[in-house]
A and B are shown apart, each in its own frame.
Chain A
Amino acid sequence: AQSVTQPDIHITVSEGASLELRCNYSYGATPYLFWYVQSPGQGLQLLLKYFSGDTLVQGIKGFEAEFKRSQSSFNLRKPSVHWSDAAEYFCAVGAHGTASKLTFGTGTRLQVTL
């Protein structure tokens, strides 16, 4: 069975600073990997996804993620954080090459200080 680990429960960064959110996965085959963002009281919005090909994936809102098979990681990065990026971020893996049966990590809550 697949699993996702987000080791950081809560991260605080200053506005303008760089950000990296960690995600490690366990899956037997080539994974489908996703990063979602959830603002308070809202649903989940897809930031980016990886299926195959280029291991550096660009997403919305200036986010990117890099798939590293050797480290079983899919870390999310942003070079300069904005106050509006404060939210909870979830990494997820899709079973059997689908997006309809996702296994989520426990999430990382990002706080941005001004």
Chain B
Amino acid sequence: NAGVTQTPKFQVLKTGQSMTLQCAQDMNHEYMSWYRQDPGMGLRLIHYSVGAGITDQGEVPNGYNVSRSTTEDFPLRLLSAAPSQTSVYFCASTLEPGGLGTEAFFGQGTRLTVV
């Protein structure tokens, strides 16, 4: 059972380059989310999705795009990378609706450096 898989694990980009961070889950969860983790700031929500074809913005969405064409995949796109996007990115999936069984399962993260 792979859970939540993120690729790549590490990436270095030049300013202005574009890339896609991949996230896939095999738990048939409807809800998926992207967070970024920065020192001293915890994790902050970038975008989330409540199902295929439905996405919405989180706390820090600027500079990022998402789409959800399948239940399994939730890629995060950086159209023009900036040094401020240097961070560790985590994808999570959640079985909703809320209740005793609800928790977010996190991937191992992608460490992105923009130079």
Is A102 at the interface (CB under 8 A from chain B)? Answer: yes
Min CB distance B83 to A, Å, is: 22
| Contacts across chains A and B counted by CB atoms under 8 Å | 76
Docked complex Cα distance between A36 and B109 (Å): 15
A-B pairs, top 3 by smallest CB distance, nearest first, are A104-B42, A100-B31, A100-B94
Are A106 and B42 in contact, with the CB atoms below 8 A? yes
Per-residue contact bits, chain A 48-69, to B (CB 8 Å; 1 contact, 0 not): 0101000000000000000000
> Could you tell me the distance in whole angstroms from the C-beta of B3 to the nearest C-beta in chain A?
9
Interface size for A (C-beta < 8 A) is 26
Q: Are B103 and A49 in contact (CB under 8 A)?
A: yes
Least Cβ distance of A48 to chain B in Å? 10
Question: In the bound complex, what is the Cα–Cα distance between A8 and B55 (angstroms)?
Answer: 35
**Interface hits, A15-72 → B, CB 8 Å:** 32, 34, 36, 42-46, 49, 51
